[in-house]
Every structure is written in structure tokens, then in C-alpha cells.
């Protein structure tokens, strides 16, 4: 087993979550973050009731990690918060549940829940990866924005009786699920940045696919599965792949490992450890249009890895839509920041 739990890790001072966010995730988040004030209002409203009830539920039915309860896990949470330069250490609860799962919950003061099914499946360094993954969700604000978008979906159900309303709602749900999946890829990266042990992250993902018998699995063969999944097939397989994602908020394990492997191999992971990453102090300078184009480029590169003609036909459409959407949101965000969300006469530019 790795000795990584005892290693000294590099602290990533003032790191912006943009450093590790997948382009498709980052584009959506930059857009939402640019509406300054809106998310804070929502955070306050949503945090008054639902979050308090959830916290009380886990406080009464799970074990809160601390200096005297699962103290080694408490150290992992503190270390992850330290490495990712967070002001507060989030609470973590261990819940008796055989299904392997972990989640970050809440909007005002998010906390983490890990089931015993996942806890018992993982070794110490793999637990660090999972905890870093969830801390990444908190740093990115995923819990806040996920709650926000789910609230918008619930609102949309009230007008589902409108002609074509159901189709429109399904499109919103599909888009939300796609963003969820990309946010998971983002936080796999956050997990290895927090643990600073890429191999532990890969092992954890393999266990999520094949269980605890790691000695019976091979990372190279697992990556070959990912290449076969991504590159093989014709239009029929492409359709089946799209249909298999309906209702899925997490990417498949082979896809997650392949994406993480590519991110490490292209040097992004090491550049961040070397100090080459965006700072939170520059977040307000990020432009939605630029991030939208980056997201489109990411999808294009992904689709170019497959010979599937169905996905190939979507490439240029998605790129054009992302570019146009980015320009529109840049304009809306600029007006919101300047105190004129309706685009009043005080606005002299429209970027």
C-alpha cells in the first residue's frame, strides 16, 4: 500500500477551482458566478430550511468525524482543506449504508457524507482521494449551483402543461445531468490535487467499477476498456451510448479514469503543483464567452476520439451554440454587474 498518507503535500495557495474544473463544467460555473449577488441571495434562501433539516438528519443518524471519532479521516478532511486553501474545514459524516457513495450537501455551509459501503471499500490513500473530490465540489460551489438548478427544474414542472412544456423540461434535465457528469470529472482532478497521489485516484475509480479485489484488476487493461468504449462502434452504438446516459449523474468509471489519466498525462496536474494555476483573486476577470469556447473545444476533442458518425454530426452544432451562448451571457453578466439587469439606457456597450 502507498505511504502517501504520511507525505508532506504542496499547499495550493489561493487556488481557483477554475484550475481543475473540466471546461464544460467551468463554462457553466463562470456563467453563474458572473451573476454576482444572485447566487448569494439564493444561498441565503435555500440554506435557511433544507440545509438545516439535512444537517440535523445526519447529526442524529450518522457519525460526525472529529478528533475522537474516525480521527484519521478527520485529518484527511483537514489536509484537503489546507491543500486547497479553504477558510473552513467542512464537516464529514460517516453513514451506515452498504451502497458505496459520497456527497457534498448544502449551500450556506456545505458538509460531506460518506457511506460505510465506500469507506470500507477504500484504503487510506484512496479515502483521501474521495474526500478531496468532495472538498473540490464545495470549493467549486457545486452544491450551491446544483441546488439552484434543481429548484429551477421544480419551477419548470409547474408549467409543464404548456404545449411542448414536457419536451422543454426534458431538455433542461438532460442538460443538467450532462453538467453533473462534467462536475464529477472536475472533482476527480480536485481529488488527486488534494491527495497528491494520482495512482490512488485511479485505484479508487477501478474499485468503483470492479469492487475490492484490486489484485485481480489491471490499470492498463482498464484504460484499454475506456479506449474501446470511446472509439469503437457505429451510429447505432453512438445512439446507445447517448441513451445509456439518461438518468445518469455520474460518468461511467472507465470514462472517469480515462479523463483523469489524460489530464495527468498532458501535464496539467504537474503544472498546478508547480504553482502555475489561476488564483481566486482573478475569478472576476473570467469571461463566459472564452469559457464557452473552451467547453466547445473540449467536446470537439472528445468526439474526435471516436469514429462514431452520430457524435460527429453534433460537433459543429455544439461549437456554434456554445460560442453564441457565451456572447449572450457575457452581455447579460456585464449588465447584471453594472446594476442594470434589464439592459437600461446607461449601458453603452454590448460585448
Q: Is residue 34 part of a domain?
A: yes
pTM of the model: 0.77
For 149-186, the pLDDT digits (tens) are 666 666 666 655 555 555 555 666 666 777 788 889 99
pLDDT tier at 304, thresholds 50, 70, 90: low
Q: Is residue 184 part of a domain?
A: yes
Q: Is residue 296 part of a domain?
A: yes
Q: Is residue 349 part of a domain?
A: no
Q: Are 264 and 191 in contact (CB under 8 A)?
A: no
Q: How far apart (Å, rounded) are the C-alpha atoms in residues 33 and 42? A: 12
Question: From edge to edge, which strands make up the β-sheet containing 92-95?
Answer: 63-64, 92-95, 111-115, 102-105
pLDDT tier at 15, thresholds 50, 70, 90: very high
Residue predicted with more confidence, 334 or 61:
61
Q: Is residue 345 part of a domain?
A: no
CB atoms within 10 A of CB 243: 9
Which whole number is the average pLDDT over 308-326? 48
Q: Is residue 6 part of a domain?
A: no
Which whole number is the average pLDDT over 13-19? 95
Tell me, letter by letter, the H, E, C secondary structure of 83-135: HCCCCCCCCEEEECCCCCCEEEECCCCCEEEEEHHHHHHCCHHHHHHHHHHHH
pLDDT tier at 327, thresholds 50, 70, 90: very low
Write out the residue range of the structural domain in which residue 210 sits.
16-335
Q: Is residue 292 part of a domain?
A: yes
Which whole number is the average pLDDT over 312-328? 46
Query: Would you say residue 295 has pLDDT above 80?
Result: no
Query: Would you say residue 83 has pLDDT above 80?
Result: yes
Q: Are strands 63-64 and 102-105 parallel, antiparallel or unpaired?
A: unpaired
| Whole-number pLDDT of residue 237 | 54
What average pLDDT does the chain have?
A: 77
| Whole-number pLDDT of residue 229 | 80
Residue predicted with more confidence, 244 or 88:
88
Q: What percent of the chain has pLDDT over 70?
A: 58
| Whole-number pLDDT of residue 35 | 56
Which whole number is the average pLDDT over 298-326? 51
| Whole-number pLDDT of residue 197 | 96
pLDDT tier at 108, thresholds 50, 70, 90: confident
Give the number of domains in the chain. 1
Q: Is residue 348 part of a domain?
A: no
Nearest Cα residue to 155 out of 127, 176, 138: 176
For 234-276, the pLDDT digits (tens) are 555 555 656 566 666 678 899 899 999 999 999 999 999 999 9
Amino acid at each position: 500500500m502507498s505511504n502517501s498518507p504520511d507525505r508532506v503535500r504542496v499547499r495550493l495557495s489561493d487556488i481557483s477551482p477554475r484550475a481543475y474544473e473540466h471546461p464544460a463544467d467551468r463554462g457553466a460555473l463562470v456563467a453563474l458566478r458572473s451573476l454576482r449577488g444572485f447566487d448569494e441571495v439564493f444561498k441565503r434562501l435555500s440554506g435557511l430550511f433544507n440545509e438545516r433539516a439535512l444537517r440535523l438528519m445526519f447529526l442524529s443518524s450518522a457519525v460526525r468525524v472529529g478528533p475522537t471519532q474516525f480521527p484519521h479521516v478527520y485529518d484527511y478532511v483537514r489536509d484537503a482543506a489546507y491543500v486547497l486553501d479553504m477558510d473552513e474545514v467542512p464537516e464529514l459524516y460517516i453513514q451506515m449504508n452498504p451502497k458505496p457513495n459520497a456527497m457534498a450537501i448544502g449551500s450556506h455551509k456545505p458538509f460531506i457524507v460518506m457511506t460505510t459501503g465506500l469507506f470500507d471499500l477504500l484504503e487510506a490513500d484512496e479515502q483521501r482521494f474521495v474526500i478531496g473530490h468532495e472538498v473540490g465540489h464545495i470549493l467549486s460551489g457545486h452544491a450551491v449551483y446544483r441546488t439552484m438548478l434543481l429548484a429551477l427544474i421544480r419551477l419548470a414542472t409547474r408549467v409543464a402543461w404548456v404545449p411542448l412544456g414536457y419536451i422543454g423540461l426534458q431538455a433542461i434535465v438532460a442538460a443538467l445531468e450532462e453538467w453533473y457528469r462534467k462536475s464529477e470529472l472536475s472533482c476527480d482532478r480536485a481529488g488527486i490535487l488534494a491527495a497528491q497521489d494520482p495512482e490512488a485516484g485511479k485505484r479508487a475509480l477501478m474499485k468503483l467499477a470492479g469492487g475490492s479485489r484490486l489484485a485481480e484488476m489491471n490499470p492498463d487493461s482498464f484504460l484499454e476498456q475506456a479506449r474501446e468504449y470511446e472509439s469503437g462502434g457505429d451510429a447505432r452504438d453512438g445512439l446507445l451510448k447517448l441513451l445509456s446516459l439518461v438518468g445518469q449523474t455520474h460518468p461511467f468509471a472507465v470514462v472517469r479514469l480515462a479523463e483523469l489519466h489524460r489530464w495527468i498525462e498532458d501535464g496539467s496536474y504537474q503544472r498546478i503543483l508547480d504553482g502555475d494555476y489561476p488564483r481566486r483573486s482573478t475569478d472576476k476577470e473570467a469571461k463566459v464567452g472564452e469559457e464557452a469556447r473552451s467547453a466547445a473545444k473540449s467536446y470537439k476533442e472528445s468526439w474526435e476520439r471516436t469514429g462514431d458518425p452520430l457524435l460527429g454530426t453534433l460537433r459543429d452544432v455544439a461549437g456554434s451554440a456554445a460560442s453564441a451562448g457565451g456572447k449572450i451571457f457575457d452581455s447579460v453578466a456585464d449588465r447584471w454587474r453594472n446594476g442594470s439587469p434589464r439592459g437600461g439606457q446607461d449601458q453603452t456597450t454590448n460585448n
